[in-house]
Each structure stands twice: as structure tokens, then as C-alpha cells.
Amino acid sequence: MAIPELRKEIEHYCKLGDRVIDQARRRVLEGEQVPNAEKIYSIFEAHTDLIKRGKVQTPLEFGHKVFLAESVQGLITQYEVLEGNPNDEQHVEPSLKCHKKMFGHVPELYSTDRGFFSEKNVKLCERKSVKVVCIPQCGGQKTDERKAYEKSPDFKKGQRFRAGIEGTISVLFRGRGMKRCRDEGRKRFELWVGAAVLANNLMRIAALRKKRSRQSSA
């Protein structure tokens, strides 16, 4: 490494070190609640976010949240590396818009886990003419009508479909390299996720074509 490049790199890490010292002073000595957006969790990967998972074994993780949407064929139709630790419920409207832009219509079925629930989101899906809205109610007292709907065949079918993306996530982690990014920087992190999604879709397309070929020859 040339001297000017080395000097530039040292200056970069010194600035990050100063920020770490500053946030420690504010938090420990001054008792300030430093916003997560201002914190640095890694001087080597300064873009790293703190992710609050709320699970007993892994309440906290470091990295980035990734939003995924999957079609009934098992293809990932949307992915986005998110900033910070946003609430899931804010993704419903943008994902509907993205789906309509991509396919020319809203999905017939929109199924998520309870983290995406809000009355506003349910009404939005209904207003956009989504035929089956499968977002389990989170918190609050359920009405008899709501209880009956969440026990209906359509709702249960939608939740079984939603559970399928958990399997897709497992495949992305274990077989497509998305468990850990082995490159540096935010942009390369996004490329790494995109490559995992692309690999998954190519494998899925190959499986669908193979299945169709078997059915044609039967």
C-alpha cells in the first residue's frame, strides 16, 4: 500500500475512533441516550446496524435487516437491505406498489407475520383489492369476526404460504451464502444479498422447468 493511501486509511479509522470515544463519553459520563443512528458498532464495517430480534437466545444481532417478498412459485420478487431497525408494518404499502409496478396488478394474496399488522395496513390491502389479506392481528382484543376470519380456510392457507418463506430464508442462509457477507462496505453487502437472491431464483427456475418437463413427458 502506498504512503498516501495508508495515510488516508489511518485518518479514516482515527475519525471513526473519535466517534466511538464521543458516543462512549455521552452515554457513560453524561448519561445521554445516544440514538442508534449515531452509534458505531464496528469501525471496520461502520454501516453495521443493531438489530433487536426480541428472541431469548439471540435478542440482539449486528448486520442489516433484509425485506423479502416471495411469489407462489417460490421466486423472490422483492428484496431490500434496510437502514436501521425499522418496524415491519411500514413495508406493506411500498411492497404493494412494487408488486403492482412489476406485475401490473396487486397480489391476490398478501400474507405476512403479525409484525406487519395494523388496522391501516389491513384496510389498505382491502382498498387496493387484495382478495385475501393474511396479516395476523398483533395485540389488542380480537373481535368475534376477527377470530372467525383467522380460523377460516383462506387465512390458514395464506399463513401456510407465509411459513414457506421461512424455509426460503433458511435456504438463503445455508445454501446461498447469505448468512454472512464476506466482503466489505455497504454497497458490497447489498451486492452479496442480491447475488444470494439471484442464485436462489435461478435454482428455483431450474427446479420448476424440470418439474414441467417431467409432467410433459408423463
Q: For the chain, which residues make up each domain, given as ranges?
A: 3-40, 62-217
The C-alpha atoms of residue 99 and residue 172 are separated, in whole angstroms, by 21
The model's pLDDT over 22-31, given as tens digits with 9 standing for 90+, comes to: 999 999 999 9
Give yes or no for residue 218 having a pLDDT over 80.
Answer: no
* Residue 134 buriedness (CB in 10 A; 0-12 / 13-18 / 19+): buried
How far is it, in rounded angstroms, from Cα 41 to Cα 44?
9
Note the pLDDT tens digit of each residue in 153-167.
999 999 998 888 888
The DSSP H or E segment spanning 144 is helix 144-150
The pLDDT value given to residue 49? 92
Quick: pLDDT tens for 79-126.
999 998 899 999 999 999 999 999 999 999 999 999 999 999 999 999
| Residue 178, all three cell numbers | 447469505
Strands 66-70 and 49-52: unpaired
Q: What is the pLDDT of residues 172-201, one digit of tens each?
A: 999 898 989 999 999 999 999 999 999 999
Q: What pTM value is reported for the model?
A: 0.85
- Burial class of 193 by CB neighbour count within 10 A (0 to 12, 13 to 18, 19+): buried
CB burial readout 154-174, b (16+ within 10 A) else e: ebeebbeebeebeebbebbee
pLDDT at 59: 84
Average model confidence (pLDDT) for the chain? Answer: 91
Give me the half-sphere count of Cα atoms (radius 13 Å) on the Cβ side of residue 50.
12
